[in-house]
Amino acid sequence: MADETENKLKDDKITEDSDTTASNATSVEEMIEDENVVQEEIDPKQTELNEALARVSSLEDQLLRSQAEIQNMQQRHAREIQNVHKYDGQKLASAVLPAVDNLERALLVESEDAVAQQIKTGVEMTLKTLVQALTDNGISATGEVGETFDPTKHQAIQSVDSDDVDSDQIASVLQKGYILQDRVLRPAMVAVAK
């Protein structure tokens, strides 16, 4: 009988273990289902959150790009205004330079006549006034004899043999050049020593 009781206890234990296992299995299944339900509830919210974060990131990028573009436009505008102020006399200077050239040519004429001397004095004064006005507005002449030839400021018309100046220096000036600030208005036409 002890064996029977022992077997019955074992059977009860096995049955109890099976019920516990079945109960645990049901419990695990319920937990998995509950987790899936929670996961399903979380997934749409997580998806919405991810989409919102992506939109925010995209808008931040657009904002930064727009700010950079605005800053670049402001800098470009400031440079343009600076150049306008710096080179504002360019058109007037270009129009006045032929008059300066003609006055300088008029001074090359030699005459002993008193009337011609008075005219020459008037031309000298007019030329001096024009040159001073150009200088006051940042316009300077370039192309002096003995100056080193610079292709950005001078236009070589011919090469000549010269004992007065070294090679690659200006031997004679056919027409003066003019520079406004750092911009060449007109290159000097020169003869360069060989």
Exposed/middle/buried for 106, CB within 10 Å: 0-12, 13-18, 19+? Answer: middle
Mean pLDDT of the residues in the chain? 82
Q: What percent of the chain has pLDDT over 90?
A: 26
Mean pLDDT of the region 61-76: 94
pLDDT at 134 over 60: yes
Mean pLDDT along residues 123-143: 89
Give CA–CA dist 48/46, Å, rounded.
5
Q: d(Cα 149, Cα 193) in Å, to the nearest integer?
A: 9
Task: Quick: pLDDT tens for 6-27.
Answer: 656 555 655 555 555 555 556 6
Q: Give domain limits for the chain.
A: 1-86, 87-193
**Beta strands per DSSP E along 45-187:** 139-142, 154-160, 170-175, 177-180, 183-186
Q: How confident is the model at residue 163 (pLDDT cuts 50, 70, 90)?
A: confident
Q: What is the mean pLDDT of residues 102-118?
A: 85
How does strand 183-186 pair with strand 154-160? unpaired
CATH of 87-193, picked from 2.30.22.10, 3.30.1280.10, 3.10.129.10, 3.40.50.1370, is: 2.30.22.10
| Cβ neighbours of residue 146 closer than 8 Å, sequence gap 6 or more | 164, 165, 169, 170
What's the pLDDT score for residue 16? 59
Dihedrals φ, ψ of 90, to 5°?
-60, -45
